[in-house]
Amino acid sequence: MIDILKKYWILILVGFLLRLAVAGFTFHPDIITPALTSAVFFREGTLNFYENSFKYAPGEVLDDLPLSYLIPLPIHLITRPFISDTTENLFFQDRSTIFGNPRLWGYLIYVKLPFILFDITLGIILALSFTEYKKRLLILWMFNPITLWATSAIGQLDIYPAFFIVLAYLLLKRDHLNWAALSLGAGGAIKSAPFLLLP
């Protein structure tokens, strides 16, 4: 992995910056739930997202499995000092008042950053999975408009199970069967699709 980072760091950096730009200037309702669970954890000090989320967004229903809400928390922990409670409150209560406001751009990046990091890492794992065409694979992944739209614009959590599926494939290729099974299980704890690969 270090070799790919050293050799293609410019390509990876450009892909990362492009994702940050897309994330900061796009909004989709799908990102409300990860923002909500982050607020519940950091402001209420509890992992009981399902019962406490109504305090911030009464109309929102958390309908995803817990692991999908737990994964972003370590990344949000690092970036949380850059987020104000005022911006977060406006995001939940009246988003229309902060559209066009640079504080919203920062908040959108904050919420989507875990998706972006998993997306970039997935591209690197794809390149590691093949002996040839590493640069082509990275270019295709980093500048794939579908990936950019789904992950950086909409904020689809499907990037998590996709990441664990590809990681399981790489681990399997390297004869780490137990770790591959664990990775596939982690993906299955978010969405059921990874279990289709068990056979």
Q: Amino acid identity of 135?
A: K
pLDDT < 70 positions in the chain: 1-2, 5, 97-98, 199
For residue 55, what pLDDT is reported?
85
Between the alpha carbon of residue 148 and those of residues 92, 116, 133, 152, 162, the distances in Å are 24, 9, 21, 5, 14
3-state helix, strand, coil in the chain (%, to 5): 75, 0, 25
User: pLDDT at position 52, please?
Assistant: 87
